[in-house]
Amino acid sequence: MKIILLFVGKPRAGPATALHEDYAERVRAFGVEYASRFVPEVRASGRYTDEHVREREGVALLAALPPAGAVVALDRTGSLLDSLEIAKAIERWSRPCATLVVGG
């Protein structure tokens, strides 16, 4: 079982990074191969509109996907799953690999 967390923006040191590392170690303790990757964040400015930023980040995310496995886009407007449902879904998705995509 392999899980990749792919997200936009380089993580900054702080509480969220420490929390991520804690959960990554917990996941690995169950024998799950886990990795996190990121693509550079594109900032909106006079040069890039919000739409252009999303497009550029989306292209970068697509290029960073592994060649095989399930791709799951995590979105705040998506379906909410309880703990048991997400555990079952991740088990299905992660054979051979599940890439969870955040942002972009």
Amino acid at 8: V
pTM over 0.75: yes
Q: Is the pLDDT reported for residue 104 higher than 70?
A: no
Phi-psi category of residue 69: left, alpha or beta, with phi > 0 → left and psi -120 to 50 → alpha? left
Q: For the segment 44-62, what is each residue's pLDDT rounded down to a tens digit?
A: 777 778 888 889 999 999 9
Q: For the segment 50-95, what is each residue's pLDDT rounded down to a tens digit?
A: 888 889 999 999 999 999 899 999 988 888 999 999 889 988 998 8
* Beta strands across the sheet bearing 2-8: 33-39, 2-8, 98-102, 70-74
Mean of per-residue pLDDT scores for the chain: 89
Mean pLDDT of 20-24: 92
Q: For residue 6, what is the enclosing H or E element?
A: strand 2-8
Cβ neighbours of residue 74 closer than 8 Å, sequence gap 6 or more = 100, 101, 102
